[in-house]
Amino acid sequence: MEPVSKGEEEAFRKAFGKALRAAREAVGLTQRQLAEKADVADKYLSRVEVGAAMPSIFVASKFARALGLPLDILTTAAASAEHAEIAGVVQLLRGATKTEIDRALRVVRELVR
């Protein structure tokens, strides 16, 4: 497997931030509210959303839990924005509940806006 280039890493970081912001907005939370639910500083969340910072897997999972989403939704949304891997999203949604699918649709709508 080839190492990830700085450009690929930057693109993923920005796509992850965009996916996180879309998910936050889709569930109707402010940055401050999500930061409090995830127990992180709101300034840090802001940096993540604009692609200036990439959270650890632990912090990313805290964001996902605070949003009521599986972490896979955020990471797949970020990868899909970069690679158009729609099949991965479909695979994730196959076992999802109606509530999870509704949330995922709101996230996707925000991403394509």
Which residues form the domain of 75? 6-112
Distances (CA, A) of 66 to 20, 24, 87: 11, 9, 26
If one counts the domains in the chain, the total is 1
Q: Identify the pLDDT of residue 75.
A: 83
Residue-wise pLDDT tens digits, 12-30: 899 899 889 988 888 889 9
- Domain-located, residue 84: yes
Per the domain annotation, does 54 fall within a domain?
A: yes
Residue-wise pLDDT for 60-113, tens only, equals 999 999 998 888 888 877 766 544 445 455 556 667 788 888 888 788 777 777
The CA R_g of the chain, rounded to the nearest whole Å, is 13
Q: Crossing angle for the helix pair 71-83 and 98-112, nearest 10 degrees?
A: 30
Judge whether 36 lies within some domain.
yes
Residue pLDDT, tens place only, 57-71: 999 999 999 998 888
Any domain includes 98:
yes
> Is residue 65, in this structure, part of any structural domain at all?
yes
Tokens read off for 101: 């699918």
**CATH number for 35:** 1.10.260.40
Widest pairwise Cα distance in the chain: 39
Closest CA to 103 of 72, 74, 75, 68: 68
| Residue 1: inside a domain | no
Position 77 scores a pLDDT of: 73
Task: Evaluate whether residue 45 is within a structural domain.
Answer: yes
